[in-house]
Structure 1
Amino acid sequence: MSTRSYQDAVACLNSLQSNAATLEAVRASGGRLSEFAIPEMVEYLGRIGYNTSDLNRLNVLHVTGTKGKGSTCAFTESILRHAMPQWKIGLYTSPHLVAVRERIRINGKPISEDDFAKFFFDVWDRLEENQQRAHSETPARPAYFRMVTLVAFHVFFTLKVDATILEVGVGGMYDSTNIVPRPIVTGVSALGIDHTAVLGKTLPEIAWQKGGIYKEGVPALSVDQPEEGMAILKQQAEARKASEFIVIPPTPGLSETRLGLAGEHQVQNADLAVHLARVFLRQTTSLNVEASLPEPFVQGLAQAKWPGRCQTVPDARDPLLTWFLDGAHTIESLECCMRWFVSPNVALRPTTAGPHRVLVFNCTNGRSGGTFLDIINTKIAAHLRAFGRDDDPSSFFDDVIFCANVTYADGHFKGDLTTIAIPESDLSHLKTQHELADAWASRVPTFSSDRIHVLPSIEHAVKIIYGRRSSSAGRPVDVLVAGSLHLVGGVIEVAGLADVAL
């Protein structure tokens, strides 16, 4: 490869994606294939020149959960950055919204394109040069998420970070991030039925997976959980010999503190972040962190950013067009999304003319789109009643758009947003989107059929939205984008919202 640019790195990374058939094989195995993730990941780490014991030098805060783990990491990173401004802090999260380099941040900012390309090809070359295998079954190159995780570790080692906030990708026990022998502190955000429900797992089974990040001699934290999940987390903490198991208590004054992330559910995530940061600082510094909220913690909470989650973004070109972005893709997160959106500060805010509301929605193949649409409509009705509104819930949205996550109208993806995990037949026939449209029509029979749109790309959707705005005669247009972080990222890209949203 002659140039080895950022685009070249993204292209090489995309070649490591698992296709739909591979993902289906993992589902069919009941997740058993995931058990190979840890020994394979350890092998890859060795092939690029590191040992697992080296990872302890990164001073890791390890966080998992089925909802709120990303927000918790964002709060934690911001708190530490404000409490220790002289430090260099690494943050590793997934997925990204617009550019893969968003997953690897230093002091709150994604690494540059040049740095990503440099570190990526460092790892790529080391894997190529060292083909020695501990396990003959291990593929020559890691899959997408494992590769990015290796790059993140390499970045954090090279740049000598003082602290690393590490978000689990999926699960916990077998996640590729779970090779750090001794983090400083571990935490579990709220448990619920998320992606793992596709495997038919119960809440105790999910809790067992999440508790797999607890480590010997390391404080194990958790938010308050459903009883059956909490019992398993406590068992995991004991079995793994955690130094202590802490169900975090409410932090005095937190509920009155301004948070940088919108939504009532963020109070719990912020609370976990406060406790994680407090334990971390007590373990690694001589700082006296009192039980209340120190001023740097308050500043960190207020200035935390986590794009694409309950986020309000004014359009860069049109002051009467507002985008409301939430990649909610689970039952629980979609409930939180609607509680945020259908509120006096958001969709029900006072305006001179009632807004034209548009829903842009997509969900992953295999998930129950009908159930998600039930949640949307049920919560609209409930929240309208709660706020004493007599609006007709069935006409709350003026248009609904179900579009594929394909970025552009010509059928191509932005490089960073390329996915091969969608079955070709589904994509070509827009199977999921037609199912969603049919489900909406059956649930809201009075909704005009010419206001239900099935579209092959995000660019098609954005064009319709700008068309609605140009014909609205001064009426504001509010657009809720939900159901998929990939969809949200594509909208940010196509609508040119990156400068404001990211």
Structure 2
Amino acid sequence: MSTSRTYRDAVDHLNSLQSNAATLEAVRASGGRLSQFAIPEMVEYLGRIGYSAMHITGTKGKGSTSAFTDSIIRRAHPEWKVGLYTSPHLVAVRERIRINGAPISEELFTKYFFEVWDRLKQNTKTANPSTPLMPGYFRFITLFAFHTFLELNVDATVLEVGVGGRYDSTNIVPKPVVTGVTALGLDHTAILGKTLKEIAWQKAGIFKEAVPALTVEQPEEGLQVLREQALELKASEFIVVPQIPGLLELKLGLAGRHQYQNATLAVHLAKNFITARTSENISEELPPSFVEGLKFTKWPGRCQTVEDPAHRGTTWFLDGAHTLESLHCCVQWFVSPDAALRDHQEFENRSRVLIFNCTSGRSGTSFLGAMMSSAAELLGTYGKDESAAALFDHVIFCANVTYADGGFKGDLTTLAIPESDLAHLKTQHELADAWSSLLPSFPKENIHVLPSIEHAVNVVRRLGESQKPIDVLVAGSLHLVGGLIEVAGLSGVAL
């Protein structure tokens, strides 16, 4: 490999594979049908770099379940080398590919990236005429992750599916050790107009013959589809994982009530995986190593509290929640004794700021309305007379652009925002209008529409100059949270 090829070069090459806003709109307009080509094309890409899908998958599910599973397995078997593949990243793309909990180094990222890139560039023979010579951004990183784990000879791999399941680029493992499905909801696929049954069918696509299929309690119509698909795809067993005695008494490494369900699934996935790999008989409901794994799980940007290292009195509450369900969980966490209500006496003496963005301002009314409704209910539950309008002193709606000069940090570059939207801050103005309509008494001068994350941080810094301590909730987008960690100088304490 040429010494002139750097990590910066690798990230720039990777960003060149991103879909732009127009392409993403075409996928949405197709009802997701374009995604059906992902699997045969991924198998072809794997073949062209010289590998087939030979790895171990520990789980499919949301990032927190993957993180719990990874943490448990690493503590149960500290002698193992454990790979974790997740998406998206917060600050550095290297976060998506972890070995024993740590993102791979810039040196390894660069080395393995160009090994895959060069093989695809050199081997241009395609089996399917419609297959593009280079895969898109997520497909490339998936290939790159497989290659990395194979080269590093990992003992276990925990794979998080990107979107959906059946047609997801990660679904090329012929026989994982165990598969798992977290809570079903109208999440990202809701934009495609899918029903719960259709979502369940997509998720169940990761089930494989002679492989256990695990899930949590689900709505009956979704559960029925999962059960039918497990039978059709000849899974060795289909299990709705039971509650684990003592788990609810643990203080998990990840905050939020919803994490107990994820932790329950993770424990069962880890037990299945370890038993299959070692023939160990794990008779305890919660072995000490499992407890340790659950307590020390880290997953940045999800219900995370960060004390600002450089600005005393400023506390950041970071949650990349971006669906109705996840935003409800976010508010449950923030309006609780674990976060904004951690000191009842100080509640009235602290300023609170919301920094928010989402992919479409049209969703703003429903997203923000649900958040404020939950907040009002929780404030009453905890004996607070304040209305939801009084929860925040300032609200900031900003674009996901990293810096005030309009530039992105390289790893955070996105082509998915339409240029016209960005130029006029269309989404952010729609969110501000939604906020005003939901809370007419909220002072107009305290609603900020800003072109970058750096602008938002500057507003917080000015507010923090007063004598009052300040709590800042950042939500609606993982890209927003990642950019804020970068701009606010939180990487050393948050990641």
Q: TM (normalized to structure 1)?
A: 0.97
**Alignment deviations for residues 413-453 of structure 1 (CA, whole Å, 9 cap, x no partner):** 00000000011110000000000001101111111111000
Secondary structure of 2:395 counterpart: strand
**Is the contact made by 1:365 and 1:422 (CA closer than 8 Å) also made in structure 2?**
no
Answer yes or no: is 1:16 the counterpart of 2:14.
no
1:61 maps to which of 54, 58, 61: 58
Q: In the alignment, what sits opposite 1:377?
A: 372
**Alignment deviations for residues 1-26 of structure 1 (CA, whole Å, 9 cap, x no partner):** 87211110000000000001101111
Q: In the alignment, what sits opposite 2:264?
A: 271
Which whole-Å CA distance do the structure 1 matches of 2:363 and 2:102 have between them?
35
Shift of 1:316: 1.1
**Alignment deviations for residues 473-497 of structure 1 (CA, whole Å, 9 cap, x no partner):** 2x11000000000000000000000
Secondary structure of 2:59 counterpart: strand
Q: In the alignment, what sits opposite 2:88?
A: 95
Which whole-Å CA distance do the structure 1 matches of 2:151 and 2:280 have between them?
26
Shift of 1:287: 2.1
**Alignment deviations for residues 309-349 of structure 1 (CA, whole Å, 9 cap, x no partner):** 00000001022000000000000000000000001221012
1:403 maps to which of 398, 417, 422: 398
Q: Which runs of 5+ in 1 are unaligned?
A: none
Q: In the alignment, what sits opposite 2:353?
A: 358
Identical positions, percent: 66
Which whole-Å CA distance do the structure 1 matches of 2:76 and 2:337 have between them?
34
Which whole-Å CA distance do the structure 1 matches of 2:390 and 2:89 have between them?
33
**Is the contact made by 2:361 and 2:426 (CA closer than 8 Å) also made in structure 1?**
no
1:485 maps to which of 452, 475, 478: 478
Q: In the alignment, what sits opposite 1:449?
A: 444
Which whole-Å CA distance do the structure 2 matches of 1:156 and 1:51 have between them?
13
Q: In the alignment, what sits opposite 2:408?
A: 413
1:162 maps to which of 140, 155, 172: 155
Answer yes or no: is 1:173 the counterpart of 2:166.
yes
**Is the contact made by 2:48 and 2:119 (CA closer than 8 Å) also made in structure 1?**
yes
Q: TM (normalized to structure 2)?
A: 0.98
Q: In the alignment, what sits opposite 1:240?
A: 233
> What do you get for the CA RMSD once the two structures are aligned?
1.0
Q: In the alignment, what sits opposite 1:231?
A: 224
One-letter code aligned to 1:444: L
**Alignment deviations for residues 99-127 of structure 1 (CA, whole Å, 9 cap, x no partner):** 00000000000001111011100000000
Answer yes or no: is 1:307 the counterpart of 2:300.
yes
Shift of 1:291: 4.3
**Is the contact made by 1:62 and 1:213 (CA closer than 8 Å) also made in structure 2?**
no
Q: Which runs of 5+ in 2 are unaligned?
A: none
What stretches of structure 1 move > 3 A for 4+ residues in a row?
none
Q: Which stretch shows the higher mean deviation, 289-298 or 330-339?
A: 289-298
Shift of 1:366: 6.5
* Number of aligned residues: 492
Q: In the alignment, what sits opposite 2:43?
A: 42
Which whole-Å CA distance do the structure 2 matches of 1:160 and 1:190 have between them?
32
Shift of 1:59: 1.9
Which whole-Å CA distance do the structure 2 matches of 1:443 and 1:73 have between them?
36
Which whole-Å CA distance do the structure 1 matches of 2:381 and 2:266 have between them?
31
Answer yes or no: is 1:425 the counterpart of 2:420.
yes
Q: In the alignment, what sits opposite 2:52?
A: 51
